[in-house]
Amino acid sequence: MDEKIIIAIDGPAASGKGTVARKLAKIFNLPHLDSGQLYRHIAYQAIKSEINLNNKSALLELTNKIAFDISEIEDLRNDEISTVASIISQYSEIREQLIEYQRDFASNGAVVDGRDIGTIIFPNADYKFYITASLDQRTERRYLQLKKDSAEIDRNNIKNDINNRDLRDINRKIAPLKKAEDAIEIDTTEMKIDDVIDFIVKYIHKG
């Protein structure tokens, strides 16, 4: 597409929003930003530096020191890092520090996925989609994803972790996870990824 559009993809953990966002970015030749990656990077550095998660000033200082270069940030996705990232994301001051980066990243168009993209980061995004799925289906997806790296993965632990993250994200006072009023909700529980992409691409081409 010649037009530099912003596509906002929101949804809970393991809903498939990241996969959808990456594929859409390739189709529309747009850069992709996984906002969760930013929080996971902070979480990784906080764990590495042994920073107490209740020490907000130390976490803010750490965030200020990080040079967020998406091309150099690993896809840090394990239970500990994801849990710490979810906790860190509840600090409004940290979220404020990351808003400018995200908006600058998409200044010439982008596909951005996260939990407050269509509601807070890009309320005027050209297209907004809310990707969701049942808790059981999201658990299975995350189980298969994590099993590639470790054989000692317990489905119940994954399910509890995802459920707890949902509760934190939905109930936090600052930028809670919710569907933007003008977002198109897509339940992917019974859908194949290609069908989801096909629906979104057709919707966008219709304008």
State the Cα–Cα distance between residues 189 and 88, nearest whole angstrom.
29
4 burial via Cβ count (<10 Å: 0-12, 13-18, 19+)? middle
State the Cα–Cα distance between residues 197 and 33, nearest whole angstrom.
17
Tokens 């994301």 sit on residue: 89
> For residue 1, is it within any domain?
no
> For residue 119, is it within any domain?
yes
State the Cα–Cα distance between residues 148 and 122, nearest whole angstrom.
34
> For residue 204, is it within any domain?
no
Q: What is the pLDDT of residue 26?
A: 96
What Rg value do the Cα atoms of the chain yield, rounded? 17
- Residue 34's CATH number: 3.40.50.300
> For residue 201, is it within any domain?
no
State the Cα–Cα distance between residues 129 and 10, nearest whole angstrom.
6
Residue-wise pLDDT tens for the chain (207 aa)?
A: 557 899 999 999 899 999 999 999 999 999 999 998 899 889 989 999 999 999 999 999 999 998 776 555 555 667 788 889 988 988 999 999 899 899 999 999 999 999 999 999 999 999 999 999 999 999 999 898 888 766 678 899 999 999 998 998 899 888 899 999 999 999 999 999 999 999 999 999 997
- Among residues 94, 106, 134, 146, the alpha carbon closest in space to that of 21 is found at 106
Q: What is the pLDDT of residue 90?
A: 87
> For residue 47, is it within any domain?
yes
Q: What is the pLDDT of residue 72?
A: 52
> For residue 66, is it within any domain?
yes
State the Cα–Cα distance between residues 87 and 132, nearest whole angstrom.
21
Q: In what order do the strands lie in the sheet with 184-187?
A: 32-34, 110-114, 6-10, 127-132, 184-187
Expressed as residue numbers, the domain containing 52 is 6-195
Q: What is the pLDDT of residue 153?
A: 82
> For residue 160, is it within any domain?
yes
Question: For the chain, how many structural domains are there in total?
Answer: 1
- 139 in Cβ contact with 145 (< 8 Å): no
Q: Centre a 10 Å sphere on the Cβ of residue 132 and count the other Cβ atoms it contains.
A: 18
180 burial via Cβ count (<10 Å: 0-12, 13-18, 19+)? buried
Tokens 């919710």 sit on residue: 178
Q: What is the pLDDT of residue 98?
A: 92
> For residue 14, is it within any domain?
yes
Q: What is the pLDDT of residue 180?
A: 97
- 196 in Cβ contact with 16 (< 8 Å): yes
Q: What is the pLDDT of residue 145?
A: 83
Q: What is the pLDDT of residue 100?
A: 87
Cα three-residue angle 13-35-198, rounded to 5 degrees:
65
